[in-house]
Amino acid sequence: MGLLYFLSYVGILFQICFVTIALAAGLYYISELVEEYSEKAKKIIKTTTQVTIALYLLFIFTENFPYIMIFFGILAQLAHLLILRSFPEVKILSIEFIVAIILIFVNHYYAYNHFQEYFYTLSEILGYFTLCLWLVPFSLFVSLSANDQVLPIHQDGMSSHNSSDDVVTNYFSSKKKKNLLNFFKNAKESLLPTRTKKSF
C-alpha cells in the first residue's frame, strides 16, 4: 500500500513532465506556422476576436453575467483588434498593448468574482476562461516571434539617391526592436550562465 502510494506521485510527476514537453513542442510548431504564414495567422486571430465579441453580445441575452464584465470583455477584444493593425509587428510599449494587458487583469478580476459568487460547473468556467479570456491573448503571445522573420517592404523618409542604404540593410542595421520576444531573449542572456566552447 505504501509503495503504490509513492509510485502514484512519481507517475504524476512523469505525466506532468510529458504534458509539459508536449505543450512546448506544440507551441513551437504553432509559432513556426505563424512565422511562415503571418497573413493567414492575422486573419485567423482577427476572426477569433470577432467571434469572441459575438459571444459576449450573446451573453447579454443568454446568461446572467454582470454588464460590467461583458463591457470590459468587449473592450479587451477591441484592444486586441487595434493590436492587429500593425501585425505581425507587436510593440509592447504601444498604448494598445498596455491597455490590452490591463484589461486582461480587469476581465480576470470580474470573471473570478462572478464565478465565485454564483455556482457554475467546472466545464462551464473553463469554457468561459478558455474561449473568452485566454484564446485571443494567447494567440497574440504565440505570434510575437513572427515579428522577427518579416522583412519590411518600405521605409519612410528613405532617400532615393543613396542606393547603398536600401530597406533591408537599414532594417538589419537598426537598433533592436522593443518587443516581448526580445525582452525574454535579453532576460535569458542576462540571467542564465553562458556556455563557452573548449578549444583544444
Percent of the chain with pLDDT over 90: 20
Residue 154 lies in a domain: no
Give the integer Cα–Cα distance in Å for 9 and 2.
11
Residue 106 lies in a domain: yes
Across residues 83-102, what is the average pLDDT? Answer: 81
pLDDT of residue 160: 46
Domain range for 49: 38-148
Q: CA 11 → CA 3, 5, 20, 22, 23, distances in Å?
A: 12, 10, 14, 16, 18
Residue 177 lies in a domain: no
Residue 87 lies in a domain: yes
- What's 161-196 look like in SS3? CCCCCCHHHHHHHCCCCCCHHHHHHHHHHHHCCCCC
Residue 188 lies in a domain: no
- The answer to whether the CB of 133 falls within 8 A of the CB of 111 is yes
Q: Higher pLDDT residue, 1 or 127?
A: 127
Number of domains, the chain: 1
pLDDT of residue 93: 78
Q: Higher pLDDT residue, 147 or 79?
A: 79
Residue 161 lies in a domain: no
Q: Which of 36-50, 65-79, 130-144 has the highest mean pLDDT?
A: 65-79
- Does the pLDDT of residue 132 top 80, yes or no? yes
Residue 123 lies in a domain: yes
Residue 108 lies in a domain: yes
